[in-house]
Amino acid sequence: MVFGTSRLFFGIEKEKNRFLIRDVHDSEDPSNSFNGTLVNAMKRIRNFSIIAHIDHGKSTLADRMIQLTGIADERTFRDQILDSMDIERERGITIKSQAITLPYQSKDGKQYELNLIDTPGHVDFSYEVSRALASCEGVLLLIDASQGVEAQTLGNLYLALELDLVVIPVINKIDLPSAQPERVMEEIEMELGLDSTGAILCSAKEGIGVEDILEAIVSRIPAPKGDPDKPLSALIFDAQYDAFRGSIIHARIMDGEIKAGDTIRLLSTKKNFRVEEVGVFQLNREPAKNLTAGEVGYIIAGIKSVRDTRTGDTVTMAERPCAKPLPGFREAKPMVFSSIYPVASDDYQDLSDALEKYQLNDAAFTYQKDSSVALGLGYRCGFLGLLHLEVVQERLEREFNQSLIMTFPSVRYRFRVKSQGLLTVDNPALYPDPVDIEESFEPFIKATILMPERYMGVVMTLCRERRGVNLRHHYPVPGRIEFTVDLPLAEVIYDFYDKLKTVTQGYGSFDYELLDYRSSDLVKVDILVNGERVDALSHIVHRDRARLRAKQACDKLKEEIPRHMFKVAIQGSIGGQVIARSTISPFRKDVTAKCYGGDVTRKRKLLEKQKAGKKRMKMIGQVVVPQSAFVSVLKSDRD
Amino acid sequence: MDKAKGIEPCSELPGLYVHVPFCRKKCIYCDFASTTQLGRMTEYVEAVLREADAYSELRARWDSLYLGGGTASLLPIPLLERLLSGLLKRFSFLSDSEITLEANPCDVSVDLLQASKELGVNRFIVGVQSFQDPLLGFLGRRHDGTAGFNALKLARKAGVEQLGLDLIFAVPGQDLDRWREDLDTALEFQPEHISCYQLTYEPGTRLYALKEKERLRPLSESDAFSFFWETGERLAKVGYEQYEVSNFAREARFRSRHNEKYWSHIPYLGLGPSAHSFDGRNRHWNYRHLNRYLDRISNGESPVEGSEILDREALRLERLFFGFRTHFGLRLGTLEPGPITCLSGNDEQLLNQLANDGFLVRTETGYRSSRRGLAVADALTAMFA
């Protein structure tokens, strides 16, 4: 992932030894016609991606390849890496995909253009992964020599196989004492059904085997196919927002060609834009005269928002459009919903501005106005998954300097309601009147969990606790289990992944896909403070979960709400029925014993502090509730 | 009970405080500025008088003088005479001024009583704290219960005009019955004034460290409340008015005139290490440590370490704070001087409810805390801050 983010686009000096196929005339080609040159040039292009589990060394391998192909020396690179401390680095995941073109002189004496297209490494982003893979002809399947195959690797591998990509297994970290390459080879055969004879052993860290990998890319991954004479069709596999240039399309040209001055059309929105610049990815963007079939590059066309440059969409020419869109396009579909409020109500405008700016760079993020009696004005937001939610939250807090309160994450439920039919509800505020509900439904996913056999028991218990059904498993290789289970999505968006990591001591890996909606016993839990409902804390849950969740909320509030002059009763209820409660006893004795000349200033300073803190308090009826109470309750389910 | 009328402090004239920082040994709960360098007393007295000189241009008339500490009574009689007469010479006191001397029971002697009376001391406060020996031992007091008892007896016999004493409650291990006994013993002397302080755990004290190390456990809040409530009840029964959280007067005229200045923003001047002064707008304070204080004075430098100007809001907060903890209470609307609203009409509903719940008592012009309210005066203040 190290090479995979925007940091590479900023402030790096132009590289001297840039050398791309597109710049040379192919002396082997006797016809030497223009198109012939292009077709021949296409033979020297390899588009590939790396499939790997988090921590299996994808970033390090990418770094090594970039160094070996000479587009960045070691120092430039390390400086870059050390300079950037962002969310992605800290979390060890690639959130946004990205690409880079590596010029490579192969042992066959010819010059190749290797386009490495990076993919996000988390289950929330499997659609984005599929579009990146659709831009490639082959993939490196990178597996940690001591960890073996993991569930996400498996998920992405299936995507690659569906797209008929050439798969080159690479076994990384062979320098580690715990490395078991033979065992991994066996897994590749047994578990993945791939031929392991061509597997390459490497240590990206030590630089072992990297050249072999580059050679294998050249010799085993086919050159792209495509017709430069056909109407333009280019696949958007990513887009990035640049404050000065708007949304920058990252695309694979399937057919045709594109250059500055062309008027392009984006097929899903039918919007036209005039191309300002095209180019390829080096450590920074490198403008080029044109991009043609088979190539990977960027298109700048004065597009204001990433919303207009949807991943999977097809770019074509306005004047001469292609016959049909490229297959596989899907609108980004939010799966998890939560409302965002500013900690101080005064900051609502700030939050609005921040969201407006933020969404320019995140097409998957949706938001619309929402409001709460307790928290004031805010926004109901949609996310691809919980990780996406956390990333958005962190970016808003760090990059946009927002202090936020986020309500309980919710999935999109369905209710069949008398005389209204099927309603879709992702906000507890819109929960229908229970007497009218005929049937409730919640989304289920199919989870795939890979783990060593010894964790079978604890993982089964975890899945049962999370209302998992249809548990099944098989042994792809002795000692390892592939476990599949149907789980309610709502159970997964809380802390399922963290819990899984804990119970399997880090050895369990997890992937999921959406299955269907199933009938379920859903209720809305309300939290009341001295009889007043705190709307921001309401949430829809399965009846079996209600009591526990209500109790957690009551207990947290008890810790966070200061004492009052009167007793404060906190209740969790379904309908009018109380299912959990806690009580905050009133002040009995709270007074400074001695207060003479020297004590006053200190005492007043304390009062001033308390007073300042009041700005962060909300009134629920007569009860003063600090914002921190909301934060703490709303976080408790994820702790 | 004198309702609205009693709201005003009895005098607007400034008061003078002198901090005598000497102690034979430090009590475990005390966080006042104090020192055991008894050898520097003479120097100290001269320094205070030099500090007083700096204020000689103040034309004010004064009506209270308070010698506190530390242990004011630790000053040898000649030094006490030099200090008191020096101050009386430098400042113009009204003839009926309140002149208070704090004394440790060990220091109370016929001679001290005689000398202080001659110097004009008319209010004599004995730091009894308790009549229970184990409790006094725990607190690190240098006297026993009998010493306290005898000191009060001696003071009464010497004809002290206003006799007062300090007591401490809510000490770990203290039992409510023993506390009642202490109160009863004190009442035998019919003191004009009684201060009953809840033991507090101030950071930096040995007591605080013991609590932090869990070597002792403070009383629960509801136990502390029982002591507080019992104190108010018992003293009220025999006619004492709780005119401030920790202070009781047998009659209105026996309230501490000097202390009431602190609680109603009447100017006061403090001399000696750590003493605070206030001129109606500006508050300043002296260096806390004796050595520093003496150095500054001997170098001809001001001993003032810091100061602050109270803006409207600061004044309002302090008035709220004092209002809820004293019999002054709070007015609805504006309070003189200056248009400072302490409680606004917007608060009316809340005030009403607090009155209905028994925390506040309505007065002709506003509200004051009931005994229940006094027990939670800080929380009340925070509500309106």
Q: What is the pLDDT of residues A137-165, one digit of tens each?
A: 999 999 999 988 887 777 788 889 889 99
Q: Are A129 and A119 in contact (CB under 8 A)?
A: yes
- Interface residue A576 vs chain B (CB under 8 A): no
- Interface residue A597 vs chain B (CB under 8 A): yes
Q: Are B232 and B223 in contact (CB under 8 A)?
A: no
Enumerate the residues of chain A whose CB falls inside 8 A of the CB of residue B197: 593-594
A181, two tokens: 């390459």
A606, two tokens: 């304390």
Residue A60 DSSP one-character state: H
Q: What is the pLDDT of residue B8?
A: 57
Alpha-carbon span A487 to A443, nearest angstrom = 9
Interface with B, mutate which of A588, A602, A611, A617 (most B CBs under 10 A): A588
pLDDT tens for each residue of A315-349? 999 999 999 999 988 877 888 999 999 988 788 99
B292, two tokens: 């520093």
User: Beta-carbon neighbour count of residue A372 at 10 Å?
Assistant: 20
Q: Considering CB atoms only, which of A587, A594, A622 is closest to B376?
A: A587
Q: Considering CB atoms only, which of A564, A597, A611 is closest to B270?
A: A597
Q: Enumerate domains of chain A plus CATH numbers.
A: 2-220 (3.40.50.300), 233-317 (2.40.30.10), 336-406 (3.30.70.870), 414-520 (3.30.70.240), 523-636 (3.30.70.2570)
Alpha-carbon span B142 to B136, nearest angstrom = 8
H or E segment to which residue A607 belongs: helix A600-614
Q: Does pLDDT of A76 surpass 70?
A: no
> ipTM, 2 decimals?
0.90
Among A37, A405, A481, smallest CA distance to A228 is for A37
Alpha-carbon span B56 to B293, nearest angstrom = 19
- Tell me which amino acid residue B230 is: E
Q: How far is B35 from chain A (nearest CA, A)?
A: 17
- Interface residue A587 vs chain B (CB under 8 A): yes
Q: Considering CB atoms only, which of B222, B359, B382 is closest to A607?
A: B382
Alpha-carbon span A342 to A325, nearest angstrom = 41
Interface with B, mutate which of A565, A568, A608 (most B CBs under 10 A): A565
Respond yes or no on whether the N-terminal peptide bond of residue B337 is cis (omega within 30° of 0): yes
Average of pLDDT values for A91-95? 40
Main-chain dihedrals φ then ψ at residue A350, nearest 5 degrees? -55, -45
Q: What share of chain A is helix, strand, coil (3-state, %, to 5)?
A: 30, 35, 35
Residue A625 DSSP one-character state: E
Q: Are A496 and A466 in contact (CB under 8 A)?
A: yes
Q: How far is A401 from chain B (nearest CA, A)?
A: 29
Q: Are A551 and A559 in contact (CB under 8 A)?
A: no
Among B90, B92, B38, B37, smallest CA distance to B61 is for B92
Alpha-carbon span A425 to A289, nearest angstrom = 50
Chain A: residue nearest B267 by CA?
A: A597
Alpha-carbon span B191 to B156, nearest angstrom = 9
Residue-by-residue pLDDT tens, chain B, 385 positions: 333 333 556 568 999 999 999 999 999 999 888 999 999 999 999 999 999 999 978 878 999 999 998 999 999 999 999 999 999 999 999 999 999 999 999 999 999 999 999 999 999 999 999 999 999 999 999 999 999 999 999 999 999 999 999 999 999 999 999 999 999 999 999 999 999 999 999 999 999 999 999 999 999 999 999 999 999 999 999 999 999 999 999 999 999 999 999 999 999 999 999 999 999 899 999 999 999 999 999 999 999 999 999 998 898 899 999 999 999 998 876 545 444 566 766 678 888 889 999 999 998 888 999 999 999 999 999 888 8
pLDDT tens for each residue of B365-381? 889 999 999 999 999 99
Enumerate the residues of chain B whose CB falls inside 8 A of the CB of residue A588: 221-222, 224-225, 375-376
Chain A: residue nearest B286 by CA?
A: A598
Chain A: residue nearest B307 by CA?
A: A601
Q: Enumerate domains of chain B plus CATH numbers.
A: 5-263 (3.80.30.20), 312-384 (1.10.10)
Interface with A, mutate which of B277, B304, B317 (most A CBs under 10 A): B317
Q: What is the pLDDT of residue A33?
A: 46
Chain A: residue nearest B263 by CA?
A: A596
Chain B: residue nearest A566 by CA?
A: B357
Number of Cβ pairs closer than 8 Å across A and B? Answer: 107
Interface with B, mutate which of A567, A568, A587, A589 (most B CBs under 10 A): A589
The angle formed by the CA atoms of residues A573, A575 and A580, to the nearest 5 degrees, is 15
CA distances from A98 to A4, A219, B132, B279 (A): 5, 24, 80, 69
Of the two residues A233 and B383, the one the predictor is more confident about is A233
| pLDDT-based confidence at residue A636 (cuts at 50, 70, 90) | low
Q: A48: which strand partners?
A: A116, A138
Of the two residues B308 and A502, the one the predictor is more confident about is B308
Q: What is the pLDDT of residue A185?
A: 92
CB pair distance less than 8 Å for A565 and B354: yes
